[in-house]
């Protein structure tokens, strides 16, 4: 069987959420299925680390698709021509982008449709592209995979797609995350938090992640507790807006909110495992990989009580209403004042994390490929 794969988000040392999903699933699928041949379609020069096995043929096919106009050209001309020329059986697209002109069977992994619910969090042209094309991608797809039951129901309802055509393929967590000893925790605190204990937020910096309220909640926590804790923000500034800027400006303890930018993965492992707690309180999320990373690191979690987050965290998190600053601050105070609660969340997380792994993700995605092609699982 010949399978073409959209691998444009496999970028060396720049793997974000969807790129990480691609990397972890594709390296397992291609190695596990040497009987099939895979064409990896890159839109720019690729790194050899992404050629996981001998049954992969990499293809560089421009132009680099990093702009809505170029998305259209790349998919409807470059990818369309390749699929026709290669005569593939399936086009697998882990970022959900499809070629609307192609007659090839296509499996779209649509992680969530946050852009439908929060369109104003994106630049004007990007939101127009997403909200015009993704309903069409969903209708065009022979089958859809997504990362939570919440996203499955959301996609089905919003785009009028039968639920029977959507497979749930939960995310996993990288093996590098894990608990560290007290000496490592202390060293990390000294290196990144001036020797103080800290809460950590890991993720992109954009309005949907609710950082403007997180800043104010942390400031309120500091006022109420007198704690020495700091708040570390690990992530790139994608869409830093006025609300975030203004919230930070009015914080009395803004000097204790430290921005690390995007950090290397081995550093992130230590930062997560050395935290007092992980804070992740977005307004909307299709899955929430940082929850798994914290559980794997044996760190308690505070998260939102909305969208997919309760589905992922189960009883291994302390929940709050993301639009309520006092509620977020109260959750932080509860953890600060109750060591037994912290330990209970850690122990629940150790159990909960066992339900998620990249091996399971890859197996489920491959089953979705087989279902798309109506293949017998033994072939």
Ordered structural domains, the chain, with CATH: 2-172+358-373 (3.40.50.2000), 182-355 (3.40.50.2000)
Segment 44-48 mean pLDDT: 95
Express each pLDDT in 229-270 by its tens digit.
999 999 988 788 899 999 999 999 999 999 999 899 899 999
The rounded radius of gyration (Å) of the Cα atoms in the chain is 21
Q: Which residue in this structure is represented by tokens 């104003």?
A: 120
The pLDDT of residue 375 is 53
Q: What is the pLDDT of residue 379?
A: 37
Q: Which pLDDT tens digit goes with each residue over 104-132?
A: 999 999 999 999 999 988 889 999 999 99
Is residue 346 predicted with pLDDT exceeding 90? yes
Q: Which residues pair with 304 in a beta bridge?
A: 320
Q: What is the pTM of this model?
A: 0.92
Pairing of strands 230-234, 257-261: parallel
CA dist., res. 130 & res. 26, Å (int): 25
Q: Is 111 left (phi over 0), alpha (psi -120 to 50) or beta?
A: alpha
Q: If you count them, how many residues does the chain have? A: 379
Model confidence pLDDT, tens digit, residues 62-91: 999 989 999 999 999 999 999 999 999 999
The pLDDT score that the predictor gives to residue 14 is 81
Q: Is the pLDDT of residue 377 over 70?
A: no
pLDDT-based confidence at residue 139 (cuts at 50, 70, 90): very high
pLDDT at residue 374, rounded to an integer: 86
């Amino acid at each position: 069987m010949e399978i073409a794969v959209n691998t444009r988000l496999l970028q060396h040392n720049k793997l974000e959420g969807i790129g990480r999903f691609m990397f972890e699933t594709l390296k397992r699928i291609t190695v596990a299925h040497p009987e099939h041949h895979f064409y990896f379609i890159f839109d720019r020069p690729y790194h050899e680390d992404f050629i996981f096995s001998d049954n992969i043929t990499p293809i560089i096919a421009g132009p680099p698709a990093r702009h809505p106009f170029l998305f259209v050209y790349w998919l409807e001309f470059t990818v369309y021509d390749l699929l026709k020329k290669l005569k593939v059986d399936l086009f697998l697209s882990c970022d959900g982008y499809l070629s609307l002109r192609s007659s090839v069977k296509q499996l779209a992994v649509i992680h969530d449709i946050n852009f439908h619910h929060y369109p104003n969090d994106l630049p004007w042209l990007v939101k127009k592209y997403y909200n015009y094309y993704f309903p069409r991608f969903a209708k065009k797809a022979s089958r859809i995979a997504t990362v939570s039951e919440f996203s499955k129901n959301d996609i089905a309802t919003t785009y009028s797609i039968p639920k029977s055509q959507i497979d749930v393929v939960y995310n996993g967590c990288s093996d590098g995350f894990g608990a560290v000893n007290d000496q490592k925790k202390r060293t990390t605190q000294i290196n990144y938090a001036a020797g103080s204990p800290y809460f950590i937020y890991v993720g992109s910096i954009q309005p949907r992640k609710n950082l403007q309220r997180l800043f104010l909640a942390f400031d309120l926590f500091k006022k109420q507790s007198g704690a020495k804790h700091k708040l570390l923000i690990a992530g790139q500034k994608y869409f830093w807006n006025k609300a975030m800027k203004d919230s930070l400006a009015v914080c009395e303890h803004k000097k204790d909110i430290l921005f690390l930018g995007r950090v290397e993965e081995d550093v992130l492992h230590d930062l997560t495992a050395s935290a007092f707690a992980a804070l992740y309180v977005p307004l909307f999320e299709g899955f929430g990989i940082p929850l798994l990373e914290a559980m794997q690191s044996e760190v308690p979690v505070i998260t939102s009580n909305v969208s997919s987050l309760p589905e992922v965290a189960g009883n291994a998190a302390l929940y709050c209403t993301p639009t309520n600053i006092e509620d977020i601050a109260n959750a932080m105070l509860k953890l600060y004042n109750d060591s037994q609660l912290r330990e209970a969340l850690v122990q629940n997380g150790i159990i909960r994390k066992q339900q998620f792994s990249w091996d399971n993700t890859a197996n489920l995605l491959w089953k979705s490929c087989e279902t798309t092609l109506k293949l017998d699982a033994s072939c």
